[in-house]
């Protein structure tokens, strides 16, 4: 009996020693509570034959050794940990001192400096991410605003008194400008074909920096240095060529700058920037031209000059926050390489995996694109994006539809275009991040519901021009609001997420550009057809809405299938 009591006293002393060690703020030589637990465990085993009857506890009585200290947040050793010392949390060595792992929401004073350090790092990362969000959104805001400069001043450019100097030929200024618009469309298509691999090689951030700097130079040249139509045409063709790279550049920059759970939100911010840039540009350019119409001979130069100045804002943000992001990426790459080198020196299998990963990472963007073109998912996304590009482009004809078909005033017709754009803004600003967090089956359901609503909006317009039913101008405006709201998320988010996930850093821009090539081809045909019809005759609009309804329906089927089969 005395021997049993002696063993129990010895075991209790060891337990108290272990508790003191676990509560200490620092240790020497990397001593861990698990070491103490090993000694306790061996002692407990040697004495178990004497005191096993005395170890039984009432099932409703809590062991005094099995609890967490609420004051200090440490884990106190209990019987279950003594039986398995590997479960006892060891302490981390930081700067020569050991810090205990936190076991609850509260922390010991020894952890305060560590929490402060993590908080500072977190704030710096938040600052970088917010800066890159502003840089990319302002990039597309500025670029899309500059794209509105030409249509805003087109009548002035062909004016005999205030416009450009056209070459002496049989063609009129209007026909020369029409040829320019055709060539600029070809330039956009060529940019989509050629610039994707270049963007992937440079990285989205550097590519956008170069693009913004080039746009500043070209728009400044148009504003200050040219009177000749030929010089203007060359500059504008290059503007459109550079413009074609901006969406793909932003997609690649998102991959460089943000974790994948934020991709959907950032793509939505790009779409918001684009639509806001369109709306602000038309409003501001109209005000500038109205204010300077009688004060300047060529007020259109101010429009291009303002467009050049706006590009400086995203260029500055991309330069500052892009440098921080690229430095962070380089540091992470070096750490990854060091980890691979360490693994390679300790494991033959690890060396094989590292080599395979390096070979995979060095694949060219075109090789990854070729691999993706062999999958059904790629073609389903391409078909959906191409059809929705035609569906989205109807924005150009909304004022004409309201004015000619519904006999609305010019002011209400323009406001309807803004209502259409408002639907787009609400969808992408409020739904892009939520969409990206949905599971696969719910993403497919969301796309089906949205594109079903888009199809109904188009069919409503088709029914009106066919004489099946009659809508007022107000109901038509509501229908067009739903049109813009319904197509935006399926148009922007799923194909861009696919390009980011499948292309990654190496080929995301190339895949994003390829998705747009087919769409621009269909777009050129569709816009040319709609521009050629007699807009005052209701029946002439029937093929237009048949095309848009078919595009929406085809996109619904292909996109839902693409989301369901994605891996």
Give the mean model confidence (pLDDT) for residues 519-547.
87
* Sign of the four-CA dihedral 421, 282, 172, 222: negative
The CATH H-level (homologous superfamily) assignment of domain 372-567 is MFS general substrate transporter like domains (1.20.1250.20)
Is 223:178 a contact under the CB 8 Å cutoff? no
CA angle, 282 then 284 then 290, to 5°: 100
Q: What tens digit of pLDDT does each residue of 429-450 get?
A: 888 888 988 999 999 999 999 9
- Top mean-pLDDT range of 5-9, 210-214, 327-331: 210-214
Query: What are the C-alpha distances in Å from 502 to residues 265, 409, 438, 509?
Result: 18, 48, 19, 11
Residue 74 reports pLDDT greater than 70: no
Question: At which residue do the structure tokens 């010019």 appear?
Answer: 410
Q: What tens digit of pLDDT does each residue of 362-418 get?
A: 457 888 989 999 999 999 999 999 999 999 888 878 888 998 899 988 778 877 877
Please give the Cα distance from 229 to 505 (Å, whole number): 40
Q: What tens digit of pLDDT does each residue of 84-100 get?
A: 444 444 444 433 443 44
CA angle, 320 then 325 then 331, to 5°: 130
More confident position, 242 or 16: 242
Task: Spell out the residues 6+ positions from residue 542 whose beta carbon is closer than 8 angstroms to its own.
Answer: 462, 465, 466
Fold equal for 129-338 and 372-567? yes
Specify the DSSP class assigned to residue 53.
G
- Which CATH code, of 3.50.50.60, 3.10.150.10, 3.40.50.720, 1.20.1250.20, is assigned to 129-338? 1.20.1250.20
Q: Does pTM surpass 0.85?
A: no
Task: Spell out the residues 6+ positions from residue 295 whose beta carbon is closer than 8 angstroms to its own.
Answer: none
Is 247:140 a contact under the CB 8 Å cutoff? yes
Q: What tens digit of pLDDT does each residue of 21-51 get?
A: 444 444 344 444 444 444 434 444 444 444 4
Is 483:454 a contact under the CB 8 Å cutoff? yes
Is 112:106 a contact under the CB 8 Å cutoff? no
Question: Residue 165: helix, strand or coil by DSSP?
Answer: strand
- For the chain, the structural domain boundaries read 2-104, 129-338, 372-567
Is 187:201 a contact under the CB 8 Å cutoff? no
Question: At which residue do the structure tokens 């391409």 appear?
Answer: 382
């Amino acid at each position: 009996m005395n021997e049993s009591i002696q063993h129990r006293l010895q075991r209790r002393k060891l337990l108290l020693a272990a508790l003191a060690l676990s509560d200490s703020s620092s240790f020497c030589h990397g001593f861990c509570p698990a070491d103490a637990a090993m000694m306790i465990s061996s002692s407990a085993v040697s004495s178990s034959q004497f005191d096993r009857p005395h170890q039984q506890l009432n099932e409703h009585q809590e062991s005094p050794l099995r609890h967490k200290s609420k004051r200090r947040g440490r884990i106190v050793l209990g019987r279950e940990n003594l039986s398995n010392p590997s479960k006892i949390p060891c302490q981390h060595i930081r700067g020569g001192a050991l810090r205990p792992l936190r076991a609850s929401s509260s922390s010991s004073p020894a952890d305060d400096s560590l929490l402060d350090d993590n908080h500072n790092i977190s704030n710096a990362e938040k600052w970088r991410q917010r800066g890159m969000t502003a840089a990319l959104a302002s990039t597309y805001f500025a670029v899309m605003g500059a794209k509105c400069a030409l249509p805003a001043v087109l009548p002035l450019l062909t004016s005999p008194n205030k416009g450009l100097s056209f070459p002496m030929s049989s063609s009129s200024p209007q026909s020369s400008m029409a040829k320019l618009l055709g060539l600029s469309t070809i330039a956009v298509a060529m940019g989509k074909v050629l610039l994707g691999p270049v963007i992937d090689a440079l990285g989205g951030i550097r590519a956008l920096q170069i693009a913004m700097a080039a746009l500043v130079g070209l728009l400044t040249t148009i504003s200050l240095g040219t009177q000749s139509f030929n010089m203007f045409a060359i500059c504008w063709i290059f503007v459109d060529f550079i413009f074609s790279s901006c969406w793909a550049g932003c997609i690649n920059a998102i991959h460089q700058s943000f974790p994948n759970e934020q991709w959907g939100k950032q793509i939505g911010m790009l779409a918001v920037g684009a639509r806001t840039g369109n709306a602000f540009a038309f409003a501001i350019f109209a005000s500038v031209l109205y204010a300077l119409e009688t004060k300047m001979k060529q007020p259109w130069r101010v429009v291009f000059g303002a467009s050049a100045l706006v590009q400086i804002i995203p260029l500055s943000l991309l330069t500052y926050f892009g440098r921080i992001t690229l430095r962070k990426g380089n540091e992470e790459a070096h750490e990854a390489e060091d980890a691979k080198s360490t693994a390679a020196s300790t494991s033959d299998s690890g060396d094989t995996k590292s080599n395979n990963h390096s070979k995979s990472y060095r694949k060219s963007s075109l090789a990854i694109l070729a691999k993706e073109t062999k999958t059904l998912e790629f073609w389903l996304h391409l078909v959906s994006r191409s059809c929705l590009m035609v569906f989205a482009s109807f924005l150009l004809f909304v004022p004409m539809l309201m004015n000619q078909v519904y006999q609305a005033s010019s002011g209400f017709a323009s406001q309807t275009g803004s209502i259409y754009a408002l639907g787009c803004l609400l969808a992408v600003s409020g739904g892009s991040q939520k969409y990206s967090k949905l599971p696969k089956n719910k993403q497919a359901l969301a796309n089906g519901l949205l594109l079903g609503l888009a199809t109904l909006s188009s069919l409503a317009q088709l029914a009106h021009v066919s004489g099946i039913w009659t809508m007022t101008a107000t109901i038509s405006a509501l229908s067009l609001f739903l049109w813009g709201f319904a197509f935006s998320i399926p148009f922007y988010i799923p194909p861009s997420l696919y390009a980011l996930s499948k292309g990654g850093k190496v080929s995301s821009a190339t895949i994003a550009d390829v998705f747009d090539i087919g769409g621009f081809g269909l777009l050129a045909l569709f816009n040319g057809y709609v521009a050629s019809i007699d807009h005052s005759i209701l029946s002439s609009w029937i093929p237009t809405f048949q095309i848009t309804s078919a595009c929406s329906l085809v996109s619904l089927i292909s996109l839902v299938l693409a989301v369901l089969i994605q891996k």
